Structure 1
């Protein structure tokens, strides 16, 4: 029997009372199961953190000694228990080390996707479809109006200009994917990386991910070469240099509002779009779908009278 209160939303985050643990907690807790290392899913300070090895490495870089009291590193498909709940991780395809969390209790399978994408991305482990009774899915872009274009077609837009480009991208995950895409599809470009992004790039390489050529940002080189330079910066730097001259401004995101006033639109998202969410539901074949991190109403309407869709967002 599916338990409606298996996962509940609390001030500290998603809580499983039957295992007394939190999924991606927003406050330091005793038992934290962490899907991936982005800051809105992985905070520092919890007592016990269960995650993949890359996720722990990213957290240790970001939070240093405050990352966790103890890490419990788990490989994909390795089964472990917290109280009476069996847990295992499966690749989520979001960033390196990102995981879906399969939880089994009293014979019922609950699958928490975390953030995910099913599009091919050689910089992280590919998404794996897992059968479950309840699919707890992010719904960031779960809207029929949101269909992401090909990331390769998007990055090839850079070949249409010789001008230098200032490219805003999240330091973890997006930047490494962009570096690889540029190397594979825009061979005439010189890739420069902001110093705050470089440690994450090195961690990717430490785990055997081949991103291709890049170098640390050189102000003099950027100034003296007015063509074919792509300078990748984190969002804060991108927004602080909103009047930067002699560059085309670009921001890599699936959000339309982040494309406004930029010289080139770059719709590259690391989240599942409408079609990907529908495909995931079809492959997982759940009895119920619970939605998070977005608007679940379009899914509820789409599956009306066919599948139970519960919106967990407060």
Structure 2
């Protein structure tokens, strides 16, 4: 039997499961935190006990140092563990290195929380895995029939036609490593420079067997030469270079509002689009779909009476 309040939005703290007394990706420090991946909007510092994959713990420790958590419970994919009365299994989510879906089993019912996930191939992280579930608790960031993400390979090939140096804005964790890999494979004549704050993250990827590709750390003298350099920088640096001359400015994202010019866009997203969510529902075969982190109304209208859709946020 599906329990309607198996997980709830607990005020400012986020998604809470009272049957195991734990939070999923809490927004504020929690006693027991199940963390799906290391992006800052899912992995805050100061939790007492954190349950996550090794890559997630390693990146959190890099980012937060001593305040990352009092205790880490590091669990591989597909190895069940228990919190309270809930059996939990991490399932690869394909979003970034170490990202996990959270399969929760309680009183004979299965609840699958996706966290952030993607179906597109990505050589810099573990691919998504599929399990069946009674309830699919899915992010709905791009749950809109009007949003269909283009092929990332075709997107990155666009930079082959740009002969000037490129200032490429991207989130430092996950997206930057994927871009390095795509450029190395599909625009090999480009010389990739990386902002110094991204280098330690690259080192973690390499240590865990997911080398992004060919790159070197940024040097000011290098970018003064027109030699088809691509300088990958995090958002705060990208914004500070708004008046940069002699370079083409691009920002790699699935969000239209983050594209900085109309002539050259890079729509590369690490989230599922409308078709991906429908594919996920087909693969996981849920009786109910619960949505969060976006707008679930399109899914509710799409399935009508075929599948019950509940909007959590």
TM-score bracket, shorter-length normalisation? over 0.9
Counterparts of residues 198-213 of structure 1 (less than 5 Å): 198-213=199-214
Residue 94 of structure 2 corresponds to 93
**Paired residue secondary structure (1:22):** strand
Say yes or no: does 1:24 pair with 2:36. no
Give runs of aligned pairs for residues 179-218 of structure 1, distance below 5 A.
179-218=180-219
Residues 252-267 of structure 1: matches in 2 within 5 Å? Answer: 252-261=252-261, 264-267=264-267
Distance 1:67 1:210 in 2: 25
Residue in 2 that maps onto 1:234 = 234
Distance (whole Å) between structure 2 residues aligned to residue 59 and residue 250 of structure 1: 28
Report if aligned partners of 2:170, 2:233 keep a CA contact under 8 Å in 1: yes
Report SS of the residue matched to 2:43: coil
How far does residue 30 in structure 1 lie from its aligned partner after superposition? 0.6
Name the CA distance, whole Å, in 1 between partners of 2:65 and 2:97.
19
CA shift for structure 1 position 238: 0.7
Inter-partner Cα distance in structure 1 for 2:260 and 2:299: 27
SS at match of 2:236: helix
| 1:246 and 2:246 correspond | yes
Match of 1:269, SS state, is coil
Alpha-carbon deviation of 1:241? 1.1
Q: Distance in 1 between matches of 2:309 and 2:222?
A: 54
> Do the aligned partners of residues 54 and 24 (structure 1) sit closer, same or farther apart at CA in structure 2, a change above 3 Å counting?
same
CA distance in 1, matches of 2:210, 2:261: 33
Question: Counterpart in 1 of 2:148?
Answer: 147
Alpha-carbon spacing, 1:156–1:267, altered in 2? closer, same or farther (3 Å): same
Q: Does structure 1 conserve the Cα–Cα contact (< 8 Å) formed by 2:250 and 2:261?
A: no
Q: Following the alignment from structure 2 to structure 1, what is the Cα–Cα distance between the partners of residues 54 and 260?
A: 37
Instruction: Point out where structure 1 has 5 or more consecutive residues left out of the alignment.
Output: none
Deviation at 1:13, TM superposition (A): 1.1
- Per the alignment, residue 274 of structure 1 pairs with 274
2:202–2:211: 8 Å Cα contact kept in structure 1? Answer: no
Contact 2:183 2:190 in 1 (8 A): yes
For the residues of structure 1 that align with 2:212 and 2:257, how far apart are their CA atoms? 29
Q: Provide the rounded CA distance (Å) in 1 between the counterparts of 2:138 and 2:109.
A: 17
Match of 1:126 in 2: 127
Contact 1:248 1:262 (C-alpha < 8 Å) held by counterparts: no
**Aligned residue number for residue 36 of structure 1:** 37
Aligned with 1:184: secondary structure?
A: helix
Deviation, structure 1 residue 261: 2.8
Alignment of 1:28-107 (within 5 A): 28-107=29-108
Match of residue 7 from structure 2: 7
- Report the alpha carbon displacement of residue 259 of structure 1 after superposing the two structures with TM: 1.1
Q: Give the whole-Å Cα distance in 1 for the aligned partners of 2:251 and 2:262.
A: 7
Q: Deviations over 1:130-164 (max 9, x none)?
A: 10000000000110000001000000001012110
In the alignment, the residues of structure 1 paired with residue 260 and residue 217 of structure 2 have an alpha-carbon distance, to the nearest angstrom, of 28
Secondary structure at the aligned position of 2:203 is classed as helix
Residue 263 of structure 1 deviates from its aligned partner by: 5.0
Q: Is the 8 A contact 2:94 2:117 kept in 1?
A: yes
Query: Once the two structures are superposed, what CA deviation does each residue of 1:152-205 show, in whole Å capped at 9, x if it has no partner?
Result: 000000101211000000000000000000000001100000001111111000
Moved over 4 A (4+): none
Per-residue deviation, 1:210: 2.3
* Partner residue, 2:305: 305
Partner Cα separation in structure 2 for residue 23 and residue 78 of structure 1: 18
